[in-house]
C-alpha cells in the first residue's frame, strides 16, 4: 500500500465537508462540517509528516486542534446567542440580511 492513499481519503473528507457547508441549513451541522474539513486537513498533514520524515506537519496539526477548540467555543457561543434570540438554529431563518 502507498501512503498516498491517506491523502485520497483526506481529499474526499474535505470535499464532503465543503459540500455539507453549502447544502446543510442547521448552523450547528454546518459548523460540524467545517470541523470535518479541519480534520481532513490534519490527516493530510500527518500523512505528509510521515512521507517527508519530519515532525513539523504534526506540529501544525497540533496547532490546528488548539485553534479549532477556540473556534468551537466562540462559534457555539454565537450560535447559542442567536438561538436564544430567535429559537431556531437554521441558517435560512437568518433572513433579515437577505435581500
Of 1-60, which residues contact another protein (CB under 8 A)? Answer: 1-9, 11-60
Applying CB under 8 A, what is the total number of residues that bind another protein? 92
Contacts of 72 (CB under 8 A, 6+ apart): 31, 35
65-94 binders of another protein (CB under 8 A): 65-86, 89-92, 94
Measured from the Cβ of residue 10, the count of other Cβ atoms closer than 10 Å reads 21
Min dist. Cβ of residue 36 to another protein (A): 6
Cα distance between residue 93 and residue 85, in whole Å? 12
Min dist. Cβ of residue 2 to another protein (A): 8
Amino acid at each position: 500500500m502507498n501512503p498516498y492513499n491517506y491523502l485520497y481519503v483526506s481529499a474526499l473528507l474535505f470535499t464532503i465537508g465543503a459540500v455539507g457547508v453549502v447544502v446543510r441549513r442547521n448552523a450547528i451541522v454546518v459548523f460540524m462540517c467545517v470541523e470535518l474539513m479541519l480534520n481532513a486537513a490534519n490527516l493530510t498533514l500527518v500523512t505528509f509528516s510521515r512521507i517527508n520524515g519530519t515532525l513539523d506537519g504534526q506540529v501544525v496539526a497540533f496547532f490546528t486542534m488548539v485553534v479549532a477548540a477556540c473556534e468551537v467555543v466562540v462559534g457555539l457561543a454565537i450560535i447559542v446567542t442567536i438561538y436564544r434570540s430567535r429559537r431556531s438554529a437554521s441558517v435560512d431563518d437568518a433572513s433579515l440580511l437577505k435581500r
